[in-house]
Amino acid sequence: MGKKKKNMSWLEEDDDSTLDMEVFDANRVILNKWDTVVAIKDLKVKWMKDIKRGDKFTNIKLTDDPLVIESWKMVLKTEFFKKI
């Protein structure tokens, strides 16, 4: 008797489920995956160097929450960033 295969179809699903949701920056401009954003104010970060106004974050990723984006392993609130 052969082993029964596990259903791994959830691994094959695209990350495009967030495309249905609109994500806006501080100026109400729509953000897309792989956009570049820039900080509009200084932000304090506990575990690393603080974010200064004008710091760029490239290749952002959208999350399930329309108020939050990801850049590398950092989670950013959209209200403090604008698209460039």
Correct CATH for 21-83 of 3.40.640.10, 1.10.287.110, 3.40.50.410, 2.30.30.40: 2.30.30.40
pLDDT tens digits for range 20-66: 789 999 999 999 999 999 999 999 998 889 999 999 999 999 999 99
Look at residues 58, 76, 57, 56 and name the one whose alpha carbon lies nearest to residue 66.
Answer: 76
* pLDDT > 90? residue 16: no
The span from the CA of 24 to the CA of 77, in Å, is 10
The span from the CA of 62 to the CA of 78, in Å, is 10
- Taking the domains of the chain in order of start, what are their residue ranges? 21-83
Instruction: Provide mean pLDDT across the span 56-82.
Output: 94
Q: How confident is the model at residue 75 (pLDDT cuts 50, 70, 90)?
A: very high
pLDDT at 18: 46
